[in-house]
Structure 1
Amino acid sequence: MIPPVPRRFGLLAYGDPNVDLVFAVDRAPAADEKVLGRHMGRHAGGTAANVACAAARLGLPSAAYGRVGRDDGNFLVAEFQRFGVDPKWVRPVAGPCATALILVQGNGEKALVYAPLPGWPLDTATLAPALEQSRVVYAMPYDLAEFEAVSRLARAAGTLVAIDVEAAVAPGPERLAALLPLADIVFFNEGGFRAATGLPPAPDHARPLLKQGPGLVVVTLGARGAIAVRGDESVTQRAFPARMVDATGAGDCFNAAVLARLLSGDHLADALRFAAAAASLAITAIGARAGFPYYDAVASVLGAADQGLPPSSSGR
């Protein structure tokens, strides 16, 4: 299932990175309501971009493919470089960058508004060689026609296709049925799984999805951990205890860690345990990437857990 090692990159993040404008609020406003908040800064973000940054920090060679606007494009490219992600396939376009408005509530949970760049990042002449140098391509497939083209190119290159399915990506079973044959690895959050399948996340509910194409299905459950199914395997992983400051990016970090460890040859159960430890560090700082840990920090959390010691709060 995993492509051979002699490729330059373990992971290629497909999709436009975005600027996150983060505000702290007691709670997200309802319709026709104003709430007071505190501006917590401008951060680099974007689902696939975050996964690449988390994977690179954990030791998996990663690259990014997408577009940036001319307003904050240099900032987003510099952030890729700071995390060790190769931005060679990130190109500038006219207009502003993709942007997300993130409201971090008092309990650490978030509400989000996303404004993407118009059109597709896809350019066959540049994407094909990028895929040929990568073992896995990771995408959030909002546009089905675009994703069909990406998947077709990836399959031709012998590159695995991993997707992130949220409720906005697959709001029902019909859309999910169109996506599953195009992917090898499917990640859901809890809301995405419920929306796409109409069922609560459980191994018995995830396993039938394997018959539609993917070889691995993973569902993150927030504070309750995660589940995964592959072949005859079913894995349930508890979350590691942590003081949650901002949940933004925690799922991206988890998914990146799963891929990083599977590409390193870990068993599925070990990969999920490592990913849960990584996610416990990712939620301890404001901003999607601020808490992304290095490998050694995750290993320390796992070692402390094995010895029954209290968890660390540092990803450094």
Structure 2
Amino acid sequence: MSGYDVVVLGEVLVEVHLDAPLREAVDGTAGRLSYSGDALNAAAAAAAAGARTALLAVVGDDELTVPLLERVERLGVDVAHVRMAARPNGAYLLGADTDGDREFVYWRAGSAGSTLSPAHVDSWAGLLRGAGALITSGITGALSETSREAVLAAATLVHRADGHVSYDPNYRARLTGTSQARRLLAEIAPLTGLLKTSCPSDALALVDTADPLAAAARYRALGAPVVAVTAGADRLLLDDGAGATYFPVPVNPEPLDATGAGDCFTGTVTARLVLGDPLDQAVRHGLAAASLSVSGWGGTGRVPAFAETAALAARRPGD
């Protein structure tokens, strides 16, 4: 056994978060530096939910690498298996947002993260086979052809070892085309234990529908046994093959920024499943953690402790 409940395969990005929407940014607009990326967001959430969590990633050799790794460690995620490449770290710029309809400007061409390859997966094979679960995404698979191969190789290893695989297509039109994203989705869906996606953004691009029920059915037809579809800011559809149920998202009275909320959901649900929660309870914990996370700036600005997550999940509507 690897000793890890959850391993997360992906990239870590330098995050520059402006204090205004991007289209309103002017000379002198203030911002803050942090570290994010869907893999780190999910890993931080899994660790906060009680899982022993490791990050499997390739980072750069620039001046931000040391503080980047220190931040990951402070979030409770093991970085002992992170590799380094003689490339810069990827970065992105985003503006303030509470609705989840964010705009990003990325600098990741030729980044260290894009060098992720099957050779890295081979070096982590023992960790992957021994882990309770793997989290990865379509973003990771779209970084490069070798990254795509790495995602499939890692998911195959974990699936064959009877581990759980959580996958989020996380479609980004500026990063990949629909045909490539659909091809990866079709290959990885049968390997998953949970496929988490969004509607309408992912669903329109990948399964040609803006209807959450139809989207879940189409993802399941590809081989995904359990599908969670975020359908706006206030509800999520869960289809486990026995039926489709809408879950409400607990209300956060002080939303600041929705960046990383979906990743927080995936990380929390995956952790709680490995730790023994039944599916519906794991989903409620994931929704509570995601709701709490939007009170912070950026992808890892607010990672709620599990006690707070569990307390919110246990509340009844109207409490």
- Same fold per TM (> 0.5)? yes
> What do the CA deviations read for 1:169-222 (whole angstroms, capped 9, x no partner)?
673584333442343321112211221111124234312422322221111234
Aligned to 1:177: 186
Looking at structure 2, the residues matched to 135 and 201 of structure 1 have their Cα atoms a distance apart, in angstroms, of 32
Looking at structure 2, the residues matched to 307 and 197 of structure 1 have their Cα atoms a distance apart, in angstroms, of 33
Aligned to 2:126: 129
- How far apart are residue 90 of structure 1 and its match? 0.5
Looking at structure 2, the residues matched to 37 and 270 of structure 1 have their Cα atoms a distance apart, in angstroms, of 46
- Quote the RMSD (CA, aligned, Å): 2.5
After superposition, the Cα gap between the structure-2 partners of 1:212 and 1:262, relative to the gap in structure 1 and judged at 3 Å, is same
Aligned to 1:54: 45
Aligned to 2:308: 297
Looking at structure 2, the residues matched to 183 and 45 of structure 1 have their Cα atoms a distance apart, in angstroms, of 24
- How far apart are residue 106 of structure 1 and its match? 7.4
**SS of the residue 2:5 aligns to:** strand
Look up the equivalent residue of 2:245 and give its one-letter code.
Answer: V
- How far apart are residue 7 of structure 1 and its match? 5.2
Aligned to 2:157: 153
Question: Which structure is higher in RCO with an 8 Å CA cutoff and minimum separation 6?
Answer: 2
1:16 aligns with 2:7: no
Aligned to 1:73: 65
Looking at structure 2, the residues matched to 207 and 258 of structure 1 have their Cα atoms a distance apart, in angstroms, of 21
Looking at structure 2, the residues matched to 284 and 124 of structure 1 have their Cα atoms a distance apart, in angstroms, of 35
**SS of the residue 1:158 aligns to:** coil
Looking at structure 1, the residues matched to 25 and 271 of structure 2 have their Cα atoms a distance apart, in angstroms, of 42
The answer as to whether partners of 1:235 and 1:269 remain within 8 angstroms in 2 is no
Looking at structure 2, the residues matched to 221 and 201 of structure 1 have their Cα atoms a distance apart, in angstroms, of 9
> What do the CA deviations read for 1:47-86 (whole angstroms, capped 9, x no partner)?
1121011110111111000111122111121112111111
Aligned to 1:312: none
Out of 251, 254, 267, which is 2:262 matched to?
251
Look up the equivalent residue of 2:18 and give its one-letter code.
Answer: F
Looking at structure 1, the residues matched to 28 and 244 of structure 2 have their Cα atoms a distance apart, in angstroms, of 42
Q: Which runs of 5+ in 1 are unaligned?
A: 1-5, 310-316
**SS of the residue 1:63 aligns to:** strand
Residue-pair matches, total: 299
**SS of the residue 2:93 aligns to:** strand
Q: Which runs of 5+ in 2 are unaligned?
A: none
After superposition, the Cα gap between the structure-2 partners of 1:269 and 1:177, relative to the gap in structure 1 and judged at 3 Å, is same
Look up the equivalent residue of 1:28 and give its one-letter code.
Answer: L
Between 1:260-269 and 1:272-281, the stretch displaced more is: 260-269
After superposition, the Cα gap between the structure-2 partners of 1:121 and 1:46, relative to the gap in structure 1 and judged at 3 Å, is farther
Looking at structure 1, the residues matched to 258 and 295 of structure 2 have their Cα atoms a distance apart, in angstroms, of 8
Looking at structure 2, the residues matched to 253 and 106 of structure 1 have their Cα atoms a distance apart, in angstroms, of 15
% of aligned pairs identical?
26
**SS of the residue 1:88 aligns to:** coil
**SS of the residue 1:163 aligns to:** strand
After superposition, the Cα gap between the structure-2 partners of 1:103 and 1:42, relative to the gap in structure 1 and judged at 3 Å, is same
Equivalent residue runs for 1:157-236 within 5 Å = 157-168=161-172, 171=178, 174-175=182-183, 176-190=185-199, 191-236=201-246
TM-score by length of 1: 0.85
- How far apart are residue 119 of structure 1 and its match? 2.4
Looking at structure 2, the residues matched to 246 and 77 of structure 1 have their Cα atoms a distance apart, in angstroms, of 23
> What do the CA deviations read for 1:102-159 (whole angstroms, capped 9, x no partner)?
1224767521133332322541442202202311111123254332322333334433
Looking at structure 2, the residues matched to 293 and 127 of structure 1 have their Cα atoms a distance apart, in angstroms, of 29
Look up the equivalent residue of 2:169 and give its one-letter code.
Answer: V
Look up the equivalent residue of 2:71 and give its one-letter code.
Answer: E
After superposition, the Cα gap between the structure-2 partners of 1:90 and 1:294, relative to the gap in structure 1 and judged at 3 Å, is same
After superposition, the Cα gap between the structure-2 partners of 1:302 and 1:181, relative to the gap in structure 1 and judged at 3 Å, is closer
Aligned to 1:313: none
After superposition, the Cα gap between the structure-2 partners of 1:202 and 1:37, relative to the gap in structure 1 and judged at 3 Å, is farther
Normalized per residue, the structure richer in strand is 1
The answer as to whether partners of 1:24 and 1:37 remain within 8 angstroms in 2 is no
The answer as to whether partners of 1:171 and 1:192 remain within 8 angstroms in 2 is no
